[in-house]
Amino acid sequence: MGVKADKIFVNLPVKDLNKSVDFFTKVGFEFDAQFTDENATCMVVNEHIFVMLLVEDFFKTFTNKEISDAAKSTEVIVALSVDSKEQVDEIVNRALNSGGQPSKEPMDQGFMYGWSFQDIDGHLWEVFHMDANAIAQG
């Protein structure tokens, strides 16, 4: 039997928690105040997916490894599946208009459309829509 987790918590180090909260609020995310203090906040993607934004010094308490400088190297790409191509564009445009940086140009493969951005700490985010009908038609 395989692993059956019911929620995912992605943990990302951030330089300035308040600026990160402001950025992701402008992108359209909400936060769980119950899991928020001066060291961390819980960004709600949906009822099963959460992103913990942790101030770098606090993040360091969870690892013996050096924290990657996301502006110079990539350790992870957070990919989010959404309901439409329009929603992909809406989210990425909000990120870019809120201080995020472009990552890759939009990619349209017919059955899948995606676009990506870098948040204010340099973490890579990919937003994509997969058309199940186009896949079925193969």
The arithmetic mean of pLDDT across residues 7-24, rounded, is 97
Residue 30 lies in a domain: yes
Q: How many domains does the chain have?
A: 1
Residue 81 lies in a domain: yes
Residue 41 lies in a domain: yes
Buried b vs exposed e over 116-137: b needs ≥16 C-beta within 10 Å?
bbbbbbbbbbbbbbeeeeeeee
Residue 125 lies in a domain: yes
Nearest to 57 by CA among 15, 22, 18: 15
Give the model's pLDDT for residue 77: 94
Question: What is d(CA 4, CA 1) in angstroms, rounded to the nearest whole number?
Answer: 9
Give the model's pLDDT for residue 1: 67
69: CB partners within 8 A, 6+ apart: 122
Domain span holding position 22: 8-61+69-137
Question: What 3-state DSSP class applies to 59?
Answer: helix
The arithmetic mean of pLDDT across residues 104-110, rounded, is 95
Give the model's pLDDT for residue 133: 78
Question: Which of 29-33, 41-45, 60-64, 130-134 shows the lowest per-residue confidence on average (mean pLDDT)?
Answer: 130-134
Residue 20 lies in a domain: yes
What pTM did the predictor assign? 0.89
Residue 104 lies in a domain: yes
Residue 1 lies in a domain: no
Residue 54 lies in a domain: yes
CATH of the domain at 56: 3.10.180.10
Is pLDDT of 137 > 90? no
